[in-house]
Amino acid sequence: MLNFAGTPPLVAMAETDSRQLIAADLRALITRIESSMRLIDAAMMEARVLETGGDPAGSADIFVLDDVTPRYATASAALNACRAGLGHALQCLSESGTPG
């Protein structure tokens, strides 16, 4: 069962106000996803440095397949898909604001 407690009553708002509220929420979600993607990128970079013994200069000749990087890559791809979907939702929302 969905819990809508604490959800602003969009029905009582003007259409423009509710659209702006939804757009702001979508932008906040996109920002949060981008932050998570940066954290994943940093963790992947740190894992690469640790795998090469902390020698980034010699890392070009070393290829190590670990069990962490694929999980990070999968999580990053999922977040990227979410970001794309939210971006599309934001675009559709802004398009719906223009009178036909």
8 Å CB contact between 22 and 89? no
- Listed in sequence order, the DSSP H helices in 4-68 are 15-51
pLDDT of residue 92: 94
Residue 22 has pLDDT above 90, yes or no: yes
The length of the chain in residues reads 100
Question: Which residue has better confidence, 9 or 38?
Answer: 38
Query: What Å distances lie between residue 97 and 13, 30, 84, CA to CA?
Result: 15, 20, 20
Tell me how far apart the alpha carbons of residues 89 and 72 are, in angstroms, rounded to a whole number: 25
Question: Which residue has better confidence, 55 or 76?
Answer: 76
